């Protein structure tokens, strides 16, 4: 029996990270931004039915960049996690932090134990009500978790988007300004004009009662920007 080649753990992790990063960068970008009355999510997504942004629970939404099938599995698992927790305890006990931790553990385990890491980067967003602040968690392919403030960009040339927003983002702008800023950031990253029909837009609106997630159709976005 031939002996397998020895690969050092450092080398193996590096290879996996490079593989995952490449996969995620191939996709299109997605921006999450805090605005006056909640959190806005805008994805460069030409499909009208394969969503990159999803409702998870009353105040929690999930968005992801990278491989669609892997994101979809994570999304469904997250909704199951949240609904089970809400059913076992109560609706207010479902938190973005616990969901983000569960995702972090799952992605971390897959990254270190499976041959192929997951090619996804995800954002768990919770809109704060009753005077609590919003929470934005970015979870990387290897399970590392980052607590973001103000805005977050994932997928595609995400670094370029972050630099663009760093110069222009002011603390919690009105929805109209936030949407315009997100769109110009996405256009700047892709170097092309993006039609509103090619964007997936959703908000977690603090002023809504109960389930705060709502999709914003292109026609409504056009009226809002006019």
- What are the tokens at 31? 């921006």
- Count of residues near another protein by CB under 8 A: 24
Site string for another protein, 125-164 (x = CB under 8 A): ----------------------------------------
CB 5: neighbour CB atoms within 10 A?
Answer: 5
d(CA 221, CA 83): 30
Alpha helices in the chain (DSSP H): 9-26, 68-88, 96-113, 158-168, 175-190, 218-225
Residue 56 touches another protein, criterion: CB under 8 A: yes
| Closest approach of another protein to the CB of residue 162, in Å | 28
How do beta strands 53-57 and 213-215 pair? Answer: unpaired
Instruction: Give the nearest distance from C-beta 120 to another protein in angstroms.
Output: 13
Strand order in the sheet with 53-57: 53-57, 60-66, 120-126, 135-139, 145-148
- Interaction between residue 49 and another protein (CB under 8 A): yes
3-state secondary structure of 79: helix
Q: Which of 13, 17, 25, 79 binds another protein (CB under 8 A)?
A: 79
Of the ranges 35-43, 76-84, 126-134, 153-161, which one interacts with another protein (CB under 8 A)? 76-84
Is there binding between residue 85 and another protein (CB under 8 A)?
Answer: yes
Question: Which residues in this chain contact another protein in the complex, by CB under 8 A?
Answer: 49, 51, 54-56, 73-74, 76-81, 83-88, 102-103, 105-106, 211
């Amino acid at each position: 029996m031939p002996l397998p080649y020895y690969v050092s753990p450092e080398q193996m992790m590096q290879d996996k990270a490079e593989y995952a990063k490449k996969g995620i960068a191939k996709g299109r970008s997605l921006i999450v931004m805090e605005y006056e009355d909640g959190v806005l999510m805008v994805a460069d997504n030409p499909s009208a039915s394969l969503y990159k942004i999803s409702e998870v629970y009353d105040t929690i939404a999930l968005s992801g960049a990278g491989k669609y099938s892997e994101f979809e599995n994570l999304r469904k698992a997250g909704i199951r996690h949240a609904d089970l927790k809400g059913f076992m305890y109560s609706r207010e006990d479902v938190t973005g932090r616990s969901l983000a931790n569960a995702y972090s553990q799952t992605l971390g385990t897959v990254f270190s134990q499976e041959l192929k890491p997951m090619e996804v980067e995800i954002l768990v967003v919770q809109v704060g009500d009753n005077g609590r602040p919003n929470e934005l968690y970015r979870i990387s392919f290897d399970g590392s978790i980052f607590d973001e403030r103000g805005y977050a960009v994932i997928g595609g040339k995400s670094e370029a988007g972050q630099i663009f927003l760093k110069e222009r983002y002011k603390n919690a702008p009105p929805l109209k300004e936030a949407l315009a800023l997100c769109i110009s950031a996405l256009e700047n990253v892709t170097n092309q004009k993006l039609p509103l029909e090619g964007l997936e837009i959703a908000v977690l609106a603090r002023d809504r009662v109960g389930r705060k997630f709502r999709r914003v159709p292109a026609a409504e976005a056009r009226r809002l920007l006019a």
